Amino acid sequence: MSLSFVDLGLAPNLLKAVQETGYVNPTPIQAGAIPHVLAGKDLLGIAQTGTGKTAAFALPILDRLLRLPPPRVNNPRPALARAKPTRCLVLTPTRELALQVAESFKTYGKHTSFSVAVIFGGVGQRPQEDALRRGVDVLVACPGRLLDLFNQGFVDLSALQVFVLDEADRMLDMGFIHDIKKIVAQIPRLRQTLFFSATMPGEIRALAGGLLHQPETVSVTPVSSTVDRIDQAVYHLSVNAKQPLLHHLLADPAWNKVLVFTRTKHGADRVVKNLLRDDIQAAAIHGNKSQNARVKAIEDFRSGKIRVLVASDIAARGLDIDAVTHVVNFEVPNEPETYVHRIGRTGRAGAAGSAVSFVAGEERAYLKDIERMIRKNVPVLNVPTNLPVLAAPVEPDRPAFAHRGRGAPQGRPAGGRPAFGGTNRGAPRHGFHKRSDRGGGSGNGGAR
């Protein structure tokens, strides 16, 4: 008999919110983490995005806040004299993830009186100041803007009861570790700490050791197995054949919610420009886009107003969008872990998903690294011989060779001529063969 959310002992008003979302059975990270958090223990969670980890901490934190007496602040900061104290702080590495985590707290806490605010840079801070003045029970923040507001006297963490560090390895990648240490110095030593990371490099393990007190560890979906439920394939082709192949594949109506990854911001913009020329509705998200533009693009993609979202790797982690049918690696990442995080945007919560990679000659060494890490060879599909010729094809950026210490791969694209080839001659022209033995979870899925 499978475990249900009812079995976890959550408060009735939280269960009601979960049931209204349609979720019945917790995912493995939720089933493993929620009982420990409810018991007040520190937690080390090792899990990829897409496993339901946000609900794994949001639900039990809300339950704990319902049961714990509100803290008292003896000497509040002047700007916050009338504000109720912040009881939970969640740190996230990106604005998109911060918005998604805050929305999850609002969804699961809809039948409570808890207030939730989200803080990140790239937008005016006045609305964030106003929210802090009113008082916030749950604060979700990116480190940089949080420190700015703290230094201006708008943040008081002296009464914090629960601290969550989400996607710690991504924090390391983005250079936030020193900011995190500054923030931790301002929160009470007596607190509950939840620490989540997809991977555990040495520096992250050391950080966890300094933050956590006798933690419970919950580890699910190791990197090598997260891709098992996703149909993967590669096309070997020249750089100049990539954009025509993308247009060709998008002619299949089954490709109705497609996330495309490029290596650079300018590459993302160029792909979108060519798609729009072909009347394919698309938008780009990357670090040069304003926060409002990024939020609008993501919401348009979620709602179906646009069919294709093109992203630099800023969106490879933490982007939680249901029913992405296909992920396209327009350019292959030079880090195998990035590949796993990219394709993990599809096939979420037990659903089916497909991922295809466009591999030019210069990128084949990257593909070998990926196959070595996931312990399988990715099937090769033939490049169609009838690719359309675009009116003004734009060549993507060449790889920035940082090849993991083994030297840059050799070779150059062959003058724009498609390198037609491949071994899977029985493959369909669009998508992949359906498998009857595809893995998956309960039809009920899990909360996110």
CATH value at residue 207? 3.40.50.300
Residue 8 vs residues 31, 110, 183, 294, 418: alpha-carbon distances, Å? 8, 19, 32, 36, 55
Rounded distance between C-alpha atoms, residue 40 and residue 29, angstroms: 17
Residues 57 and 205 in one domain: yes
Quick one: 193 and 291 in the same domain? Answer: no
Global confidence as pTM: 0.60
pLDDT above 50: residue 67: yes
Q: Residues 53-61: what's their mean pLDDT? A: 95
In a domain, 421, yes or no: no
Q: Are residues 229 and 214 in the same domain?
A: no
pLDDT of residue 35: 97
| Residue 216 and residue 235 in one domain | no
CB atoms within 10 A of CB 209: 11
Strands (E), 47-97: 88-91
Residue where one domain finishes, among candidates 329, 351, 381: 381
| Residue 392 near residue 243, CB atoms below 8 Å | no
HSE at residue 101, side-chain half, CA atoms within 13 A, is: 33
What is the rounded end-to-end Cα distance, in angstroms, of the chain? 22
Same domain, 165 and 207: yes
Task: Read off the pLDDT of each residue in 77-83 and give the average, rounded to a whole number.
Answer: 68
Share of the chain above pLDDT 70, in %: 80
Q: What is the rounded distance in angstroms from the CA atom of residue 19 to the CA atom of residue 15?
A: 6
441 inside domain: no
Does residue 212 share a domain with residue 230? no
Q: What's the number of domains the chain is made of?
A: 2
Is 415 inside any structural domain? no
- The mean pLDDT of 215-228, rounded to a whole number, is 71
Residue in the structure block whose two tokens are 């949001």: 58
pLDDT of residue 389: 64
The last residue of one of the domains, among 359, 381, 403, is 381
Kindly report, residue by residue over 116-159, the tens digit of the pLDDT.
Answer: 999 999 888 999 999 999 889 999 999 999 999 999 999 999 99
Mind listing the pLDDT tens digit for each residue in 318-356? Answer: 566 778 999 999 999 887 878 887 888 887 655 678 999
Residue 85 has pLDDT above 70, yes or no: yes
Note whether residue 432 is domain-resident: no
115 falls within a domain = yes
Q: What is the mean pLDDT of the chain?
A: 82
Whether residue 316 sits in one domain with residue 260: yes
Give the per-residue pLDDT at 221: 57
Instruction: Dig out the tokens for 255 from the structure.
Output: 């490709």
Q: Is 444 a member of any domain?
A: no
The reply to whether 370 falls in a domain is: yes
Same structural domain, 201 and 247? no
Q: Which has the higher per-residue pLDDT, 135 or 82?
A: 135
Contact present, 252 and 430 (Cβ < 8 Å): yes
Looking at 221, 251, 274, which one is the last position of a domain?
221
Question: pLDDT-derived band of residue 237, with 50, 70 and 90 as boundaries?
Answer: very high
Residue 17 and residue 162 in one domain? yes
Residue 125 has a pLDDT of 92
Q: Find how far residue 317's CA is from the centre of its chain.
A: 3
Domain assignment present for residue 399? The answer is: no
Tens of pLDDT, residues 426-447: 333 333 333 333 333 333 334 4
Question: Same structural domain for residues 246 and 109?
Answer: no
The verdict on 151 and 233 lying in the same domain is: no
231 and 211 within one domain: no
- Does residue 392 have a pLDDT over 60? no
Distance CA 27, CA 48 (A): 12
Q: Which domain holds residue 366?
A: 225-381
